[in-house]
Amino acid sequence: MTELSLRGAELDKTRMVRLLQDYGVYAGVVVLFLVNVVVTPNFVSAENFRTQAVQVAPVLIVALGMALAIGSEGVDLSVGSVMALSTSLISLYLGYGPWIAILVAVLGGMLVGLANGSLIAFVGVQPIVATLALMVAGRGLALVLLPQLKDIRDPGMAALGSGGVLGIPYLALIAAALAVAVAFVVRRTTFGRRLLAIGDSRPAAQLAGLPVRRVLIGAYVLSGALAALAGVLATARLTASDPTSLGTLMELSAITAVVVGGTPLSGGRVRIGGTVAGAVLIQLLTATLIKHDLPPSWTQIAQAVVIVAAVYAARERGKR
């Protein structure tokens, strides 16, 4: 309908805005990358790329799950607490071997997701509120299970955190594989199609006979599983379980990556490529500020501004 009423210059402007919303994030990554190549000493080095990749991996994985939640016209604020819960579970079950521990951690995340999804799909609680409750309880549970920081002395976990193949860190490989997998789920599975339809128009999806509740629960369970996995990887990298601080403000970074990547908060659309680029963009921004000796305070302020700007830019699209 809006398309019909727009003409000439107005149309060009809309198209420009749309292009910016859809591809601005890629342009941003390229520009920031080039700027760094020129102004930052030692930026172009394998070691630096490895560091950046390892740092971005957990955020990216969480953002993938967040993209699913946002695509369903919801949001998942509990992801940071799920990471904390995951790191506690790892530390507790490491005695049974790393694989069992990882499995338990991921199951824990899925359980939180199941609780989130049930509150949203069956009880009808708003996503923000439901996941907020689990955000509080999840972190508490993590601290109950493991009251303070504990070192992880497991060769398997250590290898996971710092090893790699052909110089590429495992963390980066896993994140990339998960991004591909989630993109595949969104594009090629019935679940993905239904998720987008539900996020775009819940009444239409309901009338088309889609299993709305099951799909919503699925989205939050996936988000929980991915956040838990991110918690596992972060634990492996730090070789320590720190339920107090692991994953704090993670929900914010993940939402930023998703929104900056062009996924509208109003649901119905999930851009995995954009989400990856969004996460990379924020990582580059942080790295740039740090490399030029700007203190963390500035990084936080800059991130706050970027979020508001991205949401503001996406605002028009959300209204349609």
Partner 1 sequence: MTATRTETTVAGPLADDEPLGASRGERLTALAQQHGALVALLALSAVASVGFDSFLTGDNLENMAVSSAFLAVVALGMTFVIVTGGIDLSVGSLFALGGVLAAWGSQYGTLVALALPLAVCGLIGLVNGLLIARARLAPFIVTLAAMLLARGVLLAVTDEGSTTYLVDESAFFARLGQEKLLGVGLPVWITALLFVAGAVVLRRTRFGQYVYAVGGNEDAAALMGAPVARTKVAVYTLSGLCAGFAGALNAAWLVSGVTILGSGMELEAIAAVVIGGTLLSGGFGFISGSLVGVLLLKVIQNVINQIGSLDSAYQQVVSGGFLALVVVAQTWLGRRRRMV
Partner 2 sequence: MSQDHTTPVRTGAVLVADEVTKAFPGALALDRVSFAARAGEVHALIGENGAGKSTLIKVLTGVYAPDAGTLTYGGEPVRFGTPLDAQHAGISTIYQEVNLVPLLSVARNLFLGREPRTRLGLIDFRRMHRETDAALRELGVRVDVTRPLRSLGVGAQQMVALARAVAVDARVVIMDEPTSSLEPREVRTLFGVIRMLRERGIAVVYVSHRLDELYEVCDAVTVLRDGRVVHTGPLAGLDRLRLVSLMLGRDMGEVRSEGATKFSGDHDPGTQPVLSAEELSLRHTLHGVSVRVRPGEVVGLGGLLGSGRSETAKAIAGALAPDSGRVVVAGAPVRTGSTPAAIRAGISLLPEDRKAEGIVPGLSVRENIALAALPALSRFGLVDEARIDAVVDTFVRRLRIKASSPRQRVGELSGGNQQKVLLARWLAMQPKVLLLDEPTRGIDVGAKAEVQGLVDELAADGLGVLLISSDMEELVEGSDRVVVLKDGAVVAELTGADVTEDALLHAIAATGEAAA
Sites of contact with partner 1 (CB under 8 A): 75, 77, 115, 119, 123-126, 128-130, 132-144, 147, 248-249, 251-252, 255, 259, 265, 295-301, 303-305, 307-308, 311-312, 315
Q: Is 19 in the site for partner 2 (CB under 8 A)?
A: no
Is the four-CA dihedral 180, 182, 187, 190 of positive or negative sign? positive
Distance separating alpha carbons of residues 35 and 295, to the nearest angstrom: 19
Contact 282, 256 (CB under 8 A): yes
* Closest CA relative to residue 78, chosen from 218, 313, 208, 251: 251
Q: Is 194 in the site for partner 2 (CB under 8 A)?
A: yes
Rank residues 58 and 261 by Cβ distance to partner 2 and give the closer one.
261
The 233-272 contact track toward partner 2, x by CB under 8 A, reads -----------------------------------xx---
Contact 302, 285 (CB under 8 A): yes
Of partner 1, partner 2, none, which one does residue 189 interact with (CB within 5 to 8 Å by kind)?
A: partner 2
Q: Is 188 in the site for partner 2 (CB under 8 A)?
A: yes
Rank residues 59 and 67 by Cβ distance to partner 2 and give the closer one.
67
Q: Is 196 in the site for partner 2 (CB under 8 A)?
A: yes
Residue 75 CB burial class (10 angstroms; 0-12, 13-18, ≥19): buried
Per the document, the length of the chain is 320
Rank residues 46 and 207 by Cβ distance to partner 2 and give the closer one.
207
Of partner 1, partner 2, none, which one does residue 208 interact with (CB within 5 to 8 Å by kind)?
A: partner 2
Query: With b meaning 16 or more CB within 10 Å and e meaning fewer, what string describes 6-18?
Result: eeeeeeeeeeeee
Angle at 40 between CA 37 and CA 42, to 5 degrees: 85
The residue ranges that bind partner 2 (CB under 8 A) are: 1-5, 188-191, 193-194, 196-197, 200-201, 203-211, 268-269
